[in-house]
Amino acid sequence: MPGKTHVQTTINGEKVDFLCEPRQSLLECLRDVIGLTGTKEGCNDGNCGACTINMDGRVVTSCLVLGVEAEGANIETIEGVADGSNLHPLQLAFLENAALQCGICTPGFIVASKALLEQNPDPTEYEIRFWLANNLCRCTGYDKIIRAVQDAAKRMQEA
Amino acid sequence: MTTADYERNMVLSTVDYKVIGTRPVRHDGADKVTGRAIYGADFDTSGLLHGKILRSPHAHAKIVSIDTSKAEALEGVKAVATAADFPQTDDKKWVRDNILASDKALYAGHAIAGVAAASPHVAEEALALIEVKYEVLEPVLTTQEAMAKGAPILHEGLTTQELGEDSGVVSNTADHFQHEKGDITKGFAEADVIIEREYDTAMVHQGYIEPHNGTALWNTDGRLHVWCSTQGSFVVRDSLADLLDMPVSKIRVTPTEIGGGFGGKIPIYVEPVAAILSKKTGAPVKIVMSRKETFEGSGPTPGSNIKIKLGAKSDGTITAAHAWMAMEAGGYPGSPVGAAAQCVFAAYDIENGLIDGYDVVVNKPKTAPYRAPGAPNAAFGMEQAMNELANKLNMDPIDLRLKNVAAEGTQRVDGPTFRRIGAKEVLEAMKNHPHYQAAKAAGHGRGVAIGFWFNIGFDSACNIAVNSDGSINLTEGSTDIGGSRTSIAMHAAEVLGIPVEDVSPSVVDTDTIGFTAVTGGSRTTFATGWAAYEAAQDVKRQSIERAGSIWDVDPDSLQMEDGVISSKTDSELKMTFKDLASQMSGTGGGITGRASVNPSGVGGSFAGNIVDVSVDDETGKVTVDRFTCVQDVGKAIHPSYVEGQMQGGSVQGIGWALNEEYFMNDQGNMANSSLLDYRMPTSLDLPMIDTVIVEVANPGHPFGVRGVGEANIVPPTPAIANAVFDATGNIMTQLPLTPGSVLDSGK
């Protein structure tokens, strides 16, 4: 087994260094090395979206990124979405629209939706459905999630 | 897509309360939108080891030998477990063998051995070093194959229970039972029209996004502590006690947050292996399944072979009905065919009926519950047959159903007589709905169907401690998969007349609360909600008594309403619950309420769908364009979460109808064990799911609750098949309705 690699990143605005094996995914590094367990594993092959993070402005499934590939990257996870103790409008909208049931997919949906609203502040229902099609939810049937994103867009425009 | 010109998500309420029926933000919400909630795989503790499980590549094989020596020698490996490490009690062999196979592998994915190591990667490397010698046998993969004469036998010790008696015949049919009412021969003779058809459905998975997981610590004091995602912490405790042959008092199960279950997280899989590995190493061991393992090594719901025969008069009155249902149990007996038999004809008042059920072992994973287990399979046949009957009689399909609808006093073919139910009200709400009234878009097909689930009661416990500021801490044992902490808390808030925000609900471990059965059977809000209601009544009673002692008056002269204790006779005597709480210390100490219930007044639930689809002429692809779910829930405690259950169940039904199946090769290996190839619906595949909450109060619950989780998955598969028939003229006898099968069935 080769030795561990030293990786320097910025995570949720803070400089974070970690050591990882070449075979460890960024998801595994976030969860098991750094201790940020808000990012979830549902499939480990890029098909469920539970591990969605924002990496250098792109929405990625962190299970398909190696930890060593994160060198120099600017990463945002679910833990960085709220502004201190103030929830993001998406988080409020998810709560008030009952857009989660078990909640395991919720971090991925919120991170993905935040990226959508940053580039398209007033998306149509179709645009929301298209953007979120890589995030699986098995509990809600998506209806209340779509409505929560619409509601958050409205809150953010009014703010 | 149709633009709704009416109020969507209607709630047809009959009774209003102060807290019940409102839509508060859930108590665990902030943790779940910030990533702070701790699910099973997130759990960590000092000195944690990681476990992995070796699984059989063969669907049917004798295990000749297992050599673990090379794996044990790998640096970083701490222990290896096999079936030989379990206490060898005779009566638990099949249960034990499904956790770790001893003499035979009965499905591809069957667990053979477990490894604990310093890292999950080392444990995985070690799996490759375990040498298992198999004698590969021919697999049987469907009920038809398994029931055929001369079929390979899964269990030499399995003899068919034939109508309640051991036939002594070794076969793959574990059980054949019958329910009979009236005389179907007479009934079919009286019929003007007879419909008879055979249907097949594929094995499907619950598809929860969080894979199975469990961490076990077998402590030096001989006590076992397990942390896991489960639908029932007490089920885990009791199952472990059985398997490990130890008293329940030595086992503590702490349920973590759970990422979906839908029935699939009632059985245990990795927990006993983690326990054995922990016993061997003295360290805590965590095992988390991969997605592939979750498909191949947990419990999906069966494929089935179903024959429905219906006879009716020309006015639509059903004169006789026969259902013949064979369901795949998987590697060991125990399919949900019994539950299917309770549901198949439940929506209708049938004078002459016969139900044959067959529980059949096949070389596929041992099936587990999945949301109204068995009922969707049965409805796929029955509700299509009803559609065919309506077409043959040239009747409106809802009118045909209303003509035969079951009501209070109707005796089901399987025996029980209904108390107040809402089947008629559901059908009427469907008929009156703007969706059903609207003209179909050109080229679209429309289908309807209804479905039933009986719901269950069982044991639940709840404790309430009053805080000095008048808030309450509520502890209960039902793991919360979809907001049940809040719906349970709302019961207590309603009774005490306090805001639900003043209730702090916690789901606690098996050492901390009385026995509580699974989160399943649509029982959680019904039964644990009832326990909270009773515990709050206990608090209310004690609060009145305490006020009586403070005021030195007879407590019988006092009342408590809307959070205020007052005298019925003296208008000067008045105190809020908050005031009383602030005086508890010094007037007798803290007030705690408690209750354990086993409610018998369970009320079954009916759900109905109206579905519009379009079918691509060239490819056969079916698109759901509009979908309405109507359900009698008795009383919606938290209407948003009730709608969420209805929408979620509907969409699981849509996936079951159109995409989902265990695609097995002829050797019994699942060819699509990823979430790419096992295609669950995405947001892009769906329209908004409109809901209508019907409230026909269940007389067996203080607020009329029936339970809402399951009935909604029953009607989608036949409603969609009926819509495809409406669009194409093709009768769809197989699930899923893949594009190819939609095209082929027209030939």
Identify the CATH homologous superfamily for domain A5-80. Answer: Beta-grasp domain (3.10.20.30)
Q: Which B residues, 560 through 619, put their C-beta within 8 Å of a C-beta on chain A?
A: none
- Quote the pLDDT of residue B7: 85
Shortest distance between the Cα of A136 and any Cα of chain B, in A, equals: 6
Q: Cα separation of B171 and B230, whole Å?
A: 34
For the four alpha carbons of A45, A49, A50 and A53, in that order, the dihedral sign comes to: positive
Distance from the Cα of residue B568 to its chain's centroid: 47
DSSP E strands in B236-395: the ranges are 251-255, 285-288, 304-312, 318-330, 353-361
From chain A, the residues in CB contact with B688 under 8 A are 125, 143, 146
Q: Compute the distance between CA of residue B307 and CA of residue B197 in angstroms, rounded to an integer.
A: 6
Residue type, B207: G
Q: Is B637's Cβ below 8 Å from some Cβ in A?
A: no
Distance from CA of A19 to the nearest CA of B (A): 15
| B88 token code pair | 């060898």
User: Which of B338, B32, B301, B56 is closest to A109 using CA atoms?
Assistant: B32
Q: How far apart are CA B729 and CA B745, in angstroms?
A: 9
Mean pLDDT, chain A, rounded, equals: 97
DSSP A60: E
Please name the helix (run of DSSP H) or strand (run of DSSP E) that holds residue B195, with its range, or none: strand B193-201
Q: Which long-range contacts (CB under 8 A, 24 or more apart) does B189-194 make?
A: B190/B311, B190/B313, B190/B319, B190/B320, B191/B311, B191/B312, B191/B313, B191/B319, B191/B320, B192/B312, B192/B313, B192/B314, B193/B311, B193/B312, B193/B313, B193/B314, B193/B389, B193/B392, B193/B393, B194/B309, B194/B310, B194/B311, B194/B312
Largest CA distance in chain A: 55
Nearest residue to A58 via CA among A14, A115, A117: A115
The whole-angstrom distance between B291's CA and the closest CA on chain A is: 5
Q: Which residues contact B345 (CB under 8 A, 6 or more apart)?
A: B321, B323, B353, B355, B382, B412, B413, B414
B206/A contact by beta carbon, under 8 A: yes
Q: Which residue has the tokens 């409603």?
A: B719
> Both tokens of residue B290?
């991969």
Q: Which residue has the tokens 């929301």?
A: A128
Interior angle at CA B379, CA B482 and CA B408, nearest 5: 80
Residues in B closer than 8 angstroms to A143, CB to CB, are 643, 647, 686, 688-689
Chain A residues in contact with B674 by the CB 8 A cut-off are 43, 45, 47
Q: B230 at the A interface (CB within 8 A)? A: no
Q: Are the beta carbons of A58 and A111 closer than 8 angstroms?
A: no
Residue A31, chain B, CB below 8 Å: the answer is yes
Domain covering B41-137+211-258+265-297, topology: Aldehyde Oxidoreductase; domain 3 (3.90.1170)
Domain spans, chain A: 5-80, 89-158
Torsion on CA atoms B251, B253, B254, B260, rounded to nearest 10: 170
Q: Report CB contact under 8 Å: A146, B483.
A: no
Distances in Å between the Cα of B413 and the Cα atoms of B341, B349, B398 are 9, 9, 21
What tokens were used for B319?
Answer: 């004169």
Contact B30 A87 (CB under 8 A): yes
Give the integer Cα–Cα distance in Å for A42 and A49: 8
The verdict on a CB contact (< 8 Å) between A95 and B30 is yes
Consecutive H or E run containing B550: helix B529-551
Which of B353, B448, B336 has the alpha carbon at shortest distance from B410? Answer: B353
Those residues whose C-beta lies under 8 Å from the C-beta of residue A58, and which sit 6 or more positions away, are none
Q: What is the DSSP letter of B684?
A: G
DSSP B500: G
Confirm or reject contact between A64 and chain B (CB < 8 A).
no
pLDDT at residue B3, as a whole number: 45
Using CB atoms, pick whichever of A87, A110, A136 lies closest to residue B209: A136
The alpha carbon of residue B399 and the mean position of all alpha carbons in its chain are separated, in whole angstroms, by 31
What long-range pairs does B290-293 form, CB within 8 A, spacing at least 24?
Answer: B290/A44, B290/B211, B291/A42, B291/A43, B291/A44, B291/A45, B291/A47, B291/A48, B291/B211, B291/B673, B291/B674, B291/B675, B292/B109, B292/B673, B292/B674, B293/B53, B293/B55, B293/B109, B293/B211, B293/B212
Q: CB under 8 Å to B719, separation ≥6 — which residues?
A: B383, B447, B448, B449, B609, B610, B611
Beta-carbon contacts of residue B253 (< 8 Å; ≥ 6 apart): B225, B226, B227, B228, B230, B233, B234, B236, B237, B240, B509, B510
Q: Is B343 in contact with B714 (CB distance < 8 Å)?
A: yes
CATH architecture assignment, domain B10-15+300-455+603-744: 2-Layer Sandwich (3.30)
- Is A107 near chain B, with CB under 8 Å? yes
**What pLDDT shows up at residue A159?**
85
Q: Which chain B positions have a beta carbon within 8 Å of A102's beta carbon?
A: 208-210, 257-261, 481-482
Six token digits for residue B549: 């002692």
Contact B682 A134 (CB under 8 A): yes
Chain B residues with CB inside 8 Å of A36's CB?
35
The list of chain B residues with pLDDT below 70 reads 1-5, 746-747
Distance CA B673, CA B679 (A): 10
Q: Which of A21, A101, A137 sits opposite B481 (nearest CB)?
A: A101
How large is the angle between the packed helices B375-393 and B716-728, nearest 10 degrees?
40
| Chain-chain contact of A129 with B652 (C-beta, under 8 angstroms) | no
Contact B563, B18 (CB under 8 A): no
C-alpha B565: how far from chain center: 41
Residue A132: its H or E element: none
How many Å apart are CA B400 and CA B388, to the nearest integer?
11
Cross-chain residue pair B33–A91, CB shorter than 8 Å: yes
Strands B213-218 and B224-228: antiparallel
Domain at A89-158, CATH class: mainly alpha
B291 closest CB neighbour out of A36, A45, A146? A45
Supply B220's token pair.
């030096």
Any idea which residue has 């709480």 for tokens?
A: B581
- DSSP conformation letters of A80-103: GTSBTTBPPHHHHHHHHTT--SS-
Strands A14-20 and A5-11, by their bridges, are antiparallel
Of B45, B209, B624, which to mutate for an interface test with A (greatest number of A Cβ within 10 Å)? B209
Rounded distance, CA B689 to CA B652, Å? 12
**Architecture field, domain B460-597:** 2-Layer Sandwich (3.30)
Span(s) in chain B for CATH 3.30.365.10: 10-15+300-455+603-744, 460-597
Measured CA to CA, the distance from residue B4 to residue A143 in angstroms comes to 14
Judging contacts by C-beta atoms under 8 Å, the chain B residues touching residue A80 are: none
pLDDT at res. B5: 66
Chain B residues close to A63, C-beta within 8 Å: none
What is d(CA B311, CA B396) in angstroms, rounded to the nearest whole number?
Answer: 17
pLDDT in tens, A90-142: 999 999 999 999 999 999 999 999 999 999 999 999 999 999 999 999 999 99
Substitution target in B289, B478, B651, B683 with the highest count of A β-carbons within 10 Å is B683
Chain A partners within 8 Å of B260 (Cβ): 101-102, 104, 138-139
Task: Check residue B747 and give its pLDDT.
Answer: 58
pLDDT at B658: 98
For chain A, positions 68-97, list CB contacts with chain B under 8 A.
77-79, 81-82, 87, 91, 94-97
Strand partners, B64: none
